[in-house]
Amino acid sequence: MKLGEKLMFGFAVLVAVAAVGKGVRQFGDTEPAKPRNYYEWDEAGLEGHVLYRRMGCNSCHRALGVGEIGVAPVLDGEGTRRTREWLAEYFRDPAALVPGTAHDGSLGPDFRTLRTGERALLVAFLAGLKANPGSPNHPRPPPEAVVKDEG
């Protein structure tokens, strides 16, 4: 082999060794990455999703990565930020938790006009919208939830 050929051969061997080494290291990484958002629904949660879509909640909110941004809170991660109890109370009487709420009919749908069964389905849907730490939808609990815990 000429000097140039030797150098080329040596370089090719180095690249091959590096590639195999990288493959071995990746093979060792068996821990799969956690999803940032995930979903936990029973039958009621799935029915709640149908109701959510039918009522046009997407025209102000974003959930499952679908819907408007900037009009109303993003609901992905809602089931991690809020408890089921908070959600149930919000659907029963939103103004009791959020003074001046949009959901007394002033802007959003008036939740007080929902039937009890419909509220339960929406709670089941929203409670199943979960987020892991590291997701932009995984902030600390909103201030009013903290105040309520202290009271």
Residues that bind ligand HEC (CB under 6 A): 52, 55-57, 59-61, 71-73, 78, 81-82, 90, 94, 98, 101-103, 107-109, 122, 126
Task: Report the SS3 class of residue 32.
Answer: coil
Q: Which is nearer to ligand HEC, 82 or 130 (CB)?
A: 82
Q: Which amino acid is at 76?
A: D
How many other CB atoms are found less than 10 A from the CB of residue 59?
11
| CB closer to ligand HEC out of 103 and 130 | 103
CB of 117 to ligand HEC, least distance (A): 14
H or E stretch at 97: helix 94-97
Q: How far is the CB of 148 from ligand HEC (least distance, A)?
A: 12
Rounded Cα distance between 115 and 111, Å, is 9
| Nearer Cβ to ligand HEC (28/151) | 151
User: CA distances (Å), 40 to each of 13, 46, 66, 79, in order?
Assistant: 50, 10, 18, 9
Nearer to ligand HEC, 8 or 71 (CB): 71
Both tokens of 16, joined, read 């091959």
Q: In the bound complex, what is the minimum distance in angstroms from residue 63's beta carbon to ligand HEC?
A: 9
CB of 134 vs ligand HEC, minimal distance in Å: 20
Stated length of the chain? 151
